[in-house]
């Protein structure tokens, strides 16, 4: 799942990013409201974590502008202000949830997963490709009745393919889905994860659902 984090406290932003990355999220970070609005407008995200007190444009305005533009990506607002009127203003401008600082990281993670479950208006709770079932919110995968253990990054790559099942997904598109914009390593890392996925979701079941389309990318098929 791809997350946009808009938070001006750089240390807190890094802590949240590192924690979410460890859970398999690809996280892009902006440190002011204008940059956050631009990223949210130009890129597809599963959920946005948006601080209220931001330089250049506050979180209420960012949220309102996104909603006015027809962008209904689930938004969780973070703020040091803790009062019923602050919460009401966040929700009235179009936010889906509100979390006051300081907060528990465990609670943040649980609420983000809940937002993805109920907030992805164009996305089912689970994605089914043949007898392969991918649960984005729970970060779980099954082939028939058998649960398949995947690392967070393996799951992120599989999720990127499952969202476009039957279509060819390029290596660069998978990098954008499963890694963040700051990744500058070898793009062939995708091939490593594709091989690992085949060993887990296909080979034990005698399937060939994960297909390489030479020169174009990869396709997940219902078989």
Q: What tokens appear for 97 in the block? A: 């949830």
* Tens-digit pLDDT profile for residues 71-115: 889 999 988 765 566 667 777 778 888 888 888 888 999 889 888
d(CA 164, CA 219): 8
d(CA 211, CA 223): 11
The answer to whether 62 and 8 are in contact (CB under 8 A) is no
Per-residue pLDDT at 70? 79
Q: Which domains does the chain have, with CATH numbers?
A: 2-119 (3.40.50.2300), 127-220 (1.10.10.10)
Residue 222: burial class (beta carbons within 10 Å; 0-12, 13-18, 19+): exposed
Block residue for tokens 């998978």: 174
Per-residue pLDDT at 131? 95
Q: What tokens appear for 155 in the block? A: 């799951």
Block residue for tokens 């490709």: 129
The model's pTM: 0.61
Per-residue pLDDT at 81? 63
d(CA 43, CA 41): 6
């Amino acid at each position: 799942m791809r997350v946009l984090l808009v938070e001006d406290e750089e240390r807190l932003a890094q802590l949240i990013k590192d924690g979410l990355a460890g859970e398999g999220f690809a996280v892009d970070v902006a440190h002011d409201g204008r940059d956050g609005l631009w990223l949210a407008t130009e890129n597809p995200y599963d959920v946005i974590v948006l601080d209220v007190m931001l330089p250049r444009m506050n979180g209420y305005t960012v949220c309102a502008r996104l909603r006015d533009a027809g962008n209904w990506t689930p938004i969780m607002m973070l703020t040091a202000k803790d009062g019923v009127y602050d919460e009401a203003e966040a929700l009235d401008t179009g936010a889906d949830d509100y979390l006051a600082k300081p907060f528990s990281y465990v609670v943040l993670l649980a609420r983000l997963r809940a937002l993805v479950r109920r907030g992805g208006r164009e996305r089912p709770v689970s994605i089914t490709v043949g007898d392969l079932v991918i649960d984005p919110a729970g970060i779980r995968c099954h082939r028939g009745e058998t649960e398949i253990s995947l690392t967070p990054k393996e799951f992120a790559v599989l999720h990127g393919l499952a969202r476009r099942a039957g279509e060819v997904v390029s290596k660069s598109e998978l990098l954008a889905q499963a890694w963040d914009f700051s990744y500058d390593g070898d793009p062939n890392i995708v091939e490593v994860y594709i091989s690992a996925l085949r060993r887990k979701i296909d080979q034990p079941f005698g399937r060939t659902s994960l297909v390489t389309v030479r020169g174009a990318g990869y396709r997940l098929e219902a078989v």
